[in-house]
C-alpha cells in the first residue's frame, strides 16, 4: 500500500509538471504570435506534368536492365538538349518587345491548366480556400487557359454553396474556360457548383443531381409538456420564427416554412436553367439523383471520364498546375480547436451518411 501511495504521488507530480510545461508553451506561443504579422496561410503550386513524368520514369527505370537504361539515358539527354534549344529559340522570338507588349504576354503561349480541389462538407467550409485559390489563378490566367475544379460534395447549406458557386462564376466572368470534374458525388449544393462550369466531366458511377431542398428538425414540445416544462420564445415580426424545436408549431408556421422551402427550390431551378439551358429542369429538379451514365442522358453532365483521365489526356499539350491554399495554424489554435473539430467531423460524417444512404 505504501508503494502504491508513493507511486500515485510520483505520477501526480509528473502529470502536474507536464501540464505546467504545456501551459507555459501555449502562453508563450500565444504572446509571441501577437507580435507577428498575421499569416493565415499560403499558396502551394505543383506542376503535375513533372509529377506524371516522375511516375513514368520510376516505372520505366524498374523495368529496364542496365544496358537498356544506359542507351535510353543517352537518347534522352540528346532529346532534352534539342528540346531546350528549341524552347530557347521560341522564347527569344516570343519575347521580342513591342509597343503593346506586357509582362504576361511574354509568357510562353502553351496552354495552361490550373487544377483546384473542393471537398465540400455541410457548411462548404473550404470556400475560403477556394476564394484564395481562384484569386491567385485569376492574376495570370487568360481565356486561352483552363481552370479545372475537382468537386466532391453531397451538398449542405444553401447560402454556403451559393457563395461557393459565386466564386466559380468569377472564372467564367473572365471568359476563362471552367471544367468541373466529379469522381464521386456532386449533389444538391455540389451540383449547384458544378452547373456553373462550361463543361462537366463525371466518372461513370458518380452521383449527380439532387436538385431539391430539404429541412428537418425534431420537436420536443410534447416531451416538455409531459414533464411540466414551459418553453417561451419572444419574437418581433410575424414570421421571425416559423417552426421551432421546443415550442408548439402551428399549421400557419409550417405552411410558411414550406413556402420558404419552395421559393428556395424555385431559385435553385432558375440557377440551373441559367447556367445549363440544355437541361430539362422540370424533369430533373425532383430531388432525384443520377449516376454518371444516366446523368449524361439528361444533360446534367457533358462527358463520361474520371478527373485522372481528363488531366492525363492533356498533359502532353498543356502545362498543368495544381494550386492549393494551405492554412497555417498556430499551436494554440491546434490545441484549442482540436476537440471542436473532432466533434464537428463526427456530426458532419453522420449527417452525410444519412443523406448518402438515401441514394442507394
Supply the residues annotated as catalytic: 188, 240
- Grid coordinates representing 165 are 458557386
CA distances from 153 to 47, 67, 229 (A): 25, 50, 40
Which alpha helices (H) appear in 219-318, and where do they start and end?
A: 221-226, 251-275, 281-284, 292-297, 307-314
C-beta of residue 280 within 8 angstroms of C-beta of residue 298: yes
How far is 293 from 290, CA to CA, in rounded Å?
8
DSSP bridge pairs for 117: 150
- Grid coordinates representing 239 are 414570421
- Grid coordinates representing 210 are 439532387
Scanning the structure block, which residue is given the C-alpha cell 463543361?
199
C-beta of residue 125 within 8 angstroms of C-beta of residue 163: no
Tell me whether residue 299 is exposed, middle or buried, using C-beta atoms within 10 angstroms of its C-beta: 0 to 12, 13 to 18, 19 or more. middle
The torsion angles phi and psi of 37, rounded to 5 degrees, stand at -70, 150
- Grid coordinates representing 29 are 506561443
C-beta of residue 98 within 8 angstroms of C-beta of residue 306: no
Of 331, 329, 328, 327, nearest in space to 30 by CA: 331
Of 285, 121, 310, nearest in space to 200 by CA: 310
How far is 171 from 141, CA to CA, in rounded Å?
9
The contacts of residue 275 (CB under 8 Å, 6+ apart) are 195, 196
Task: Quote the radius of gyration of the chain (alpha carbons, Å).
Answer: 28
C-beta of residue 131 within 8 angstroms of C-beta of residue 167: yes
Amino acid at each position: 500500500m505504501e508503494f502504491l501511495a508513493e507511486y500515485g504521488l510520483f505520477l501526480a507530480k509528473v502529470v502536474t509538471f507536464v501540464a505546467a510545461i504545456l501551459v507555459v508553451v501555449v502562453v508563450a506561443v500565444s504572446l509571441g504570435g501577437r507580435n507577428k504579422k498575421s499569416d493565415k496561410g499560403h499558396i502551394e503550386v505543383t506542376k503535375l506534368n513533372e509529377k506524371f513524368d516522375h511516375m513514368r520514369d520510376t516505372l520505366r527505370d524498374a523495368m529496364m536492365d542496365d544496358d537498356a537504361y544506359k542507351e535510353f539515358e543517352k537518347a534522352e539527354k540528346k532529346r532534352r538538349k534539342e528540346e531546350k534549344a528549341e524552347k530557347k529559340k521560341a522564347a527569344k522570338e516570343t519575347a521580342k518587345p513591342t509597343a503593346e507588349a506586357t509582362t504576361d504576354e511574354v509568357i510562353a503561349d502553351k496552354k495552361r491548366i490550373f487544377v483546384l480541389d473542393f471537398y465540400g462538407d455541410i457548411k462548404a467550409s473550404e470556400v475560403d480556400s477556394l476564394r484564395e485559390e481562384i484569386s491567385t489563378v485569376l492574376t495570370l490566367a487568360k481565356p486561352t487557359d483552363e481552370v479545372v475544379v475537382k468537386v466532391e460534395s453531397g451538398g449542405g447549406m444553401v447560402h454556403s454553396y451559393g457563395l461557393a458557386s459565386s466564386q466559380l462564376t468569377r472564372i467564367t466572368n473572365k471568359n476563362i474556360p471552367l471544367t468541373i470534374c466529379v469522381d464521386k458525388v456532386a449533389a444538391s449544393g455540389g451540383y449547384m457548383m458544378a452547373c456553373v462550369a462550361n463543361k462537366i466531366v463525371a466518372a461513370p458511377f458518380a452521383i449527380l443531381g439532387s436538385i431539391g431542398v430539404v429541412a428537418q428538425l425534431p420537436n420536443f414540445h410534447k416531451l416538455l409538456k409531459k414533464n411540466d416544462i414551459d418553453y417561451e420564445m419572444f419574437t418581433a415580426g410575424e414570421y421571425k420564427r416559423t417552426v421551432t424545436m421546443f415550442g408548439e408549431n402551428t399549421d400557419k408556421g409550417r405552411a410558411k416554412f414550406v413556402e420558404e422551402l419552395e421559393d428556395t427550390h424555385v431559385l435553385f431551378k432558375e440557377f440551373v436553367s441559367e447556367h445549363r439551358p440544355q437541361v430539362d429542369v422540370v424533369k430533373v429538379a425532383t430531388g432525384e439523383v443520377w449516376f454518371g451514365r444516366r446523368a449524361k442522358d439528361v444533360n446534367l453532365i457533358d462527358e463520361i471520364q474520371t478527373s485522372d483521365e481528363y488531366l492525363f489526356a492533356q498533359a502532353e499539350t498543356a502545362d498543368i498546375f495544381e494550386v492549393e491554399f494551405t492554412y497555417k495554424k498556430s499551436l494554440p489554435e491546434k490545441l484549442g480547436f482540436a476537440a471542436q473539430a473532432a466533434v464537428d467531423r463526427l456530426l458532419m460524417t453522420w449527417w452525410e451518411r444519412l443523406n448518402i444512404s438515401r441514394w442507394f
